Amino acid sequence: MSEPNVPPPPSYTPPPPPTGTTPPPGAVSPNRSLMLVLAYLGILSIIPLVVEKNDPEVQWHAKHGLVLFVAEIILGIVIAMITHVMPFAGCVLWMIWPLILILHIVMIVKAVNGQRLLIPGISEFADRF
**pLDDT (tens digit per residue) in 26-68:** 567 788 999 999 999 999 999 999 998 888 999 999 999 999 9
Tell whether 63 is covered by a domain: yes
Number of domains the chain contains: 1
Higher pLDDT, 24 or 113: 113
Contacts of 14 (CB under 8 A, 6+ apart): none
Lowest average pLDDT, out of 17-21, 84-88, 122-126, goes to 17-21
Q: What pTM was estimated for this model as a whole?
A: 0.73
Residues of the domain holding 108: 32-126
Longest pairwise C-alpha distance within the chain: 106
Which position has the higher pLDDT, 105 or 1?
105
Please report whether residue 98 resides in a domain: yes
Contact of 40 with 65, CB cutoff 8 Å: yes
Question: Is 114 contained in some domain?
Answer: yes
Helix axes 56-85 and 97-112, enclosed angle (nearest 10): 180
pLDDT at residue 12 above 90?
no
Residue 96 domain flag: yes
- How far lies 47's CA from each of 23, 64, 66, 70, 96, in Å? 17, 13, 10, 16, 27
What's the CA gap between 115 and 13, in Å, rounded? 39
Could you tell me if residue 85 is inside a domain? yes
Please check whether residue 14 lies inside any domain of the structure: no
Residue 50 lies in a domain: yes
Residue 17 lies inside a defined structural domain of this protein: no
